[in-house]
A and B are shown apart, each in its own frame.
Chain A
Amino acid sequence: MMPLNYAILKYFTKVEEACADDVINALKDTYGNFKALNKKDVITALMTAEANGLIEETRFELDNNNELKVYYHAHEEGAATINKYIKD
């Protein structure tokens, strides 16, 4: 089992794009009991990863509940850095 932050970054090397809700859904089986696996903390983790150049924003939309969803993806260089430092 890898640290939650690593798992979040690693997830982006395996999908085309994802938002915070997608990350939570994908990781809830393994990390469901982690306090930090909530929307607020995951959004902070995604925006931090973006500020560090590991992932980039692709689009945004409002869902049916009028909640903002921002999508990100790992570009080639970001994915290479993540895979270099975080092994499966």
Chain B
Amino acid sequence: MAAGSQKVSLQANIAYKKYRSNFLKKGIAIALFSGLTYGMYTALITMAMTKGVWADWYGDNKAKLSAFVIAYVIAALGNAINDTCSAVWAILYSIVKGKFGDFVRCVKSTPGRMILLAALLGGPIAGTAYVISLQMAGSIVVPISALCPAIAAILSRILFKQELNKRMMVGIAICVFASFLIGSTSISGSSASANTVVGIIIAVIAALGWGLEGCLAGYGSAMVDPQIGICIRQVTSGIANLFILVPFFSLLAGDIGLSVNLLTQAVTSGAAMPWFILSGLFTVITFTAWYAGNSMCGAGLGTACNGTYAFFGPLFCLLLLGIYGGMPGWSLPSVAWVGAVIMTFGIFVISMNPLDLLRKNKEKEEEVETYDAA
């Protein structure tokens, strides 16, 4: 800072200190909130897909859907409905905040188009992979998909020649160890199934998509207002899921008309739609908080705080589906909980040096002291 020898009063110093620390604290709180609400979104979308017509598709299957349709078309449809609901919430919110006009203007700009491309990677590809893996292997995939900061760090090194130092590599090793710990509980247990293993592999695709999204969107969202950025993301994702991905999977299943048929049944399912409307709301909240948190306290610390969803995801699944819904199979083995906590720590180590937190505070204090002395 080019403060020079300017004299500033003690009162100004106090006001300045408060101004600085309030912003950082607000950024950390928002980023942590994004991890918490991501856990809620995970539980709500999973709950939605157990209600109404979804209960039949994933249960008795009186509709006689093929294994492919259930694994891929239905999961993509769930993600499409969730993202479309969240797009409606995002547009409504932008109207309330008087930012809808800017949303339209941003889409036409270069940073807006970068977010749009990131949304295609994160929404239809990673989002659908996440829902497929959740349906195949349960909440055990949540910490696996949370590997995205590790993958983002590796991709940034390969694509943009960004730094990948020893601390980051140690963090990645911690994450890989934790994912092995979590994965081993399902693979080696008596309940091991091919579905679980495939689900975990598909969760890695989700992590890869979100890692790529993080690389691209990070740059675009430096200039676009976070609320507008999320509006672009959710509208792109909702449209691409509903009009490209679901029909594409239906075509692969041998009947493109299936997408319209299943969509009609899903949106008229009165028991499931309220849960999708809620999960859509939490999708907007969590992604807005993630983008805003990253912008306010830096992508490193922001991503570290958001990474706590590795823990909050399974927790809210247990609370909503296991305890509130009375459904079996949502309590993870204790080893997996330990793994989730270790992975959260590993994400933190990749994203930032914990000592930097102390160092930054000290630097700020020294800056203010310099003012005092001047």
Q: Which A residues have a C-beta under 8 Å from some C-beta of B?
A: 1-6, 9, 34-36, 44-45, 47-49, 51-54, 56-62, 66, 68, 70, 82, 85-86
B268 CB–A CB distance under 8 Å: no
Which residues of chain B in 7-46 are interfacial with respect to chain A, using CB atoms and an 8 Å cutoff? 8-9, 11-12, 15-16, 19, 23, 27
25 contacts between A and B (CB under 8 A): A3-B105, A3-B225, A3-B228, A4-B102, A5-B102, A34-B98, A35-B97, A36-B97, A36-B225, A48-B295, A49-B222, A51-B295, A51-B298, A52-B222, A56-B1, A57-B1, A58-B1, A58-B3, A59-B3, A60-B12, A60-B19, A62-B12, A62-B15, A70-B19, A85-B110
* 3 closest Cβ pairs, A-B complex: A35-B98, A52-B222, A3-B102
In the bound complex, residues from chain A placing their C-beta under 8 Å from that of B105 are: 1-3
A47 engages B296 (CB within 8 Å): yes
Contact of B16 among A2, A6, A68, A82 (CB under 8 A): A68
Q: Provide the bound-state CA to CA distance between A35 and B228, in Å.
A: 14
B51 CB–A CB distance under 8 Å: no
Q: Provide the bound-state CA to CA distance between A55 and B12, in Å.
A: 22
Q: Provide the bound-state CA to CA distance between A48 and B3, in Å.
A: 20
Chain A nearest CB: distance from B102 CB in Å?
4
Q: Provide the bound-state CA to CA distance between A59 and B226, in Å.
A: 27
Consensus secondary structure, chain A interface: mixed
Most buried by A among B16, B223, B228: B223
Q: Nearest CB to that of B298 among chain A residues?
A: A51
A59 engages B2 (CB within 8 Å): yes
B138 CB–A CB distance under 8 Å: no
Given contacts A51-B298, A70-B19, A85-B223, contact A3 B12 (CB under 8 A): no
Chain B nearest CB: distance from A51 CB in Å?
6
A36 engages B6 (CB within 8 Å): no
In the bound complex, residues from chain B placing their C-beta under 8 Å from that of A53 are: 222
In the bound complex, residues from chain A placing their C-beta under 8 Å from that of B19 are: 60, 68, 70
Which residues of chain B in 260-310 are interfacial with respect to chain A, using CB atoms and an 8 Å cutoff? 295-298
In the bound complex, residues from chain B placing their C-beta under 8 Å from that of A68 are: 12, 15-16, 19
B1 engages A86 (CB within 8 Å): no
In the bound complex, residues from chain A placing their C-beta under 8 Å from that of B2 are: 58-59
In the bound complex, residues from chain A placing their C-beta under 8 Å from that of B226 are: 48
B98 engages A51 (CB within 8 Å): no
Q: Nearest CB to that of B1 among chain A residues?
A: A57
In the bound complex, residues from chain B placing their C-beta under 8 Å from that of A60 are: 8, 12, 16, 19
Q: Provide the bound-state CA to CA distance between A70 and B298, in Å.
A: 20
In the bound complex, residues from chain B placing their C-beta under 8 Å from that of A52 are: 222-223, 295
In the bound complex, residues from chain B placing their C-beta under 8 Å from that of A66 are: 11
In the bound complex, residues from chain A placing their C-beta under 8 Å from that of B9 are: 62
B340 CB–A CB distance under 8 Å: no
Q: Provide the bound-state CA to CA distance between A3 and B2, in Å.
A: 30
Q: Provide the bound-state CA to CA distance between A44 and B19, in Å.
A: 11
Q: Nearest CB to that of B112 among chain A residues?
A: A3
Q: Provide the bound-state CA to CA distance between A29 and B107, in Å.
A: 24
Q: Provide the bound-state CA to CA distance between A10 and B79, in Å.
A: 38
In the bound complex, residues from chain B placing their C-beta under 8 Å from that of A5 are: 102, 223-225, 228
Q: Provide the bound-state CA to CA distance between A6 and B11, in Å.
A: 33
A61 engages B222 (CB within 8 Å): no
A51 engages B16 (CB within 8 Å): no
A54 engages B97 (CB within 8 Å): no
In the bound complex, residues from chain B placing their C-beta under 8 Å from that of A86 are: 109-111, 223
Flag B90-101 by CB within 8 Å of A: 1 or 0 each: 000000011100
Q: Nearest CB to that of A75 among chain B residues?
A: B2
In the bound complex, residues from chain A placing their C-beta under 8 Å from that of B298 are: 51
